[in-house]
Amino acid sequence: APEKISVVRNPVITSRLIKLAAEVPPHLWLKEKRFPVILGAGRLTLQKDFVTLISAFAELSKRVQTRLIILGEGDRRKELLQLVERLRLHDCVDLPGFIQNPYAYMAAADLFVLSSRWEGSPNVLTEAMALDTPVVSTDCPSGPGEILEGGRIAPLVPVGKHEMLAAAMAGVLLNPPQPGSMKAAVKEY
């Protein structure tokens, strides 16, 4: 019977996460804060679809002066760097590789974007929200739709649609959510 079903959330928000998030990220863009900084993080693989994120950033950068940092390593690194060069974004996109403490980056970023084609349970989205960082996500299977309550909490866009992702990113940067709202949305985690 449905009334006997209970949801057990992945434990994501820990005291360790909060402690690490309080550290100052070493990245110059996050220290200077001359422009808003957008963050993506994960393995540089087809699943995470950073091609769509970089393409969306290219659209966004025509309207808003901003920066993009993508944390992680993977088999798509060379392809992503070539895309950054081809789109002439090398001055405003950085792929620093694997970072020991991504939480300091998350806490300092102006926006976290999950661009995945599919996920299990996207802890990275929950972690960013726990640090009260505004988010935008693709509506990929499975997880973001539930975490973001179908787009009520933060924008959900169709997978692979870089123009729609760019518009959602611009919307959040230009009209950020109330402080505390992201954190409150994931308090069960």
CB 144 within 8 A of CB 49: no
In this prediction the pTM is 0.93
pLDDT at residue 122, rounded to an integer:
87
Distance CA 144, CA 125 (A): 8
Look at residue 8 and tell me whether its pLDDT is greater than 70: no
What would the pLDDT profile of 18-29 be if each residue is shown by its tens digit?
A: 999 999 999 999
For the chain, domains (ranges, CATH) are 17-176 (3.40.50.2000)
The strand pair at 37-41 and 111-114 is best described as: parallel
pLDDT at residue 11, rounded to an integer:
57
- Sheet containing 93-97, strands listed edge to edge, beginning at the edge strand earlier in sequence: 93-97, 67-71, 37-41, 111-114, 135-138, 156-157
What would the pLDDT profile of 31-88 be if each residue is shown by its tens digit?
A: 999 999 999 999 999 999 999 999 999 999 999 999 999 999 999 999 999 999 999 9
Share of the chain above pLDDT 90, in %: 86
- Which residue, 116, 109, 110, is CA-closest to 156? 116
CA atoms within 13 A on the CB side of 108: 25
Output the average pLDDT for the chain.
94
Phi, psi of 95 (to 5 degrees): -120, 85
pLDDT at residue 6, rounded to an integer:
52
